[in-house]
Amino acid sequence: DAGVIQSPRHEVTEMGQEVTLRCKPISGHDYLFWYRQTMMRGLELLIYFNNNVPIDDSGMPEDRFSAKMPNASFSTLKIQPSEPRDSAVYFCASSLRQSNEQFFGPGTRLTVL
């Protein structure tokens, strides 16, 4: 299994631009999680999906952030418009319903100038 796949691995953009991060979970996993990691705040859960349905988005910082999961093998996290304080590493993780273990993707390092 290829594991959780994320793209791009690095993204540098200017303030005000739209940013789209992509994730492909492990095949067969029915939970998908988006996290953000910064030095100041550590690892924070932004949103998670069960069977493609958003369940808890209370961690999404602002309306500028949105996430979708159009099918079982693909999810996006969009920031529009981006701001310098959004600079962080964004991780996607997936898990099986019966398991607590989440498998993380390699992350996308986002820099907003």
Partner 1 sequence: EDKVVQSPLSLVVHEGDTVTLNCSYEVTNFRSLLWYKQEKKAPTFLFMLTSSGIEKKSGRLSSILDKKELFSILNITATQTGDSAIYLCAVPSPMEYGNKLVFGAGTILRVKS
Residues that bind partner 1 (CB under 8 A): 31, 33, 42-45, 48, 50, 55-56, 91, 95, 97, 100-107
Q: Which helix (H) or strand (E) holds 78?
A: strand 74-79
Tell which residue, 68, 72, 44, has the closest CA to residue 58: 44
At closest approach, how far in Å is the CB of 104 from partner 1? 4
Toward partner 1, which CB reaches closer, 59 or 81? 59
Residues 6+ apart with CB under 8 A from 111: 10, 11, 12, 13, 87
Which token pair is 51?
């069977």
At closest approach, how far in Å is the CB of 86 from partner 1? 19
Toward partner 1, which CB reaches closer, 82 or 95? 95
Toward partner 1, which CB reaches closer, 80 or 99? 99
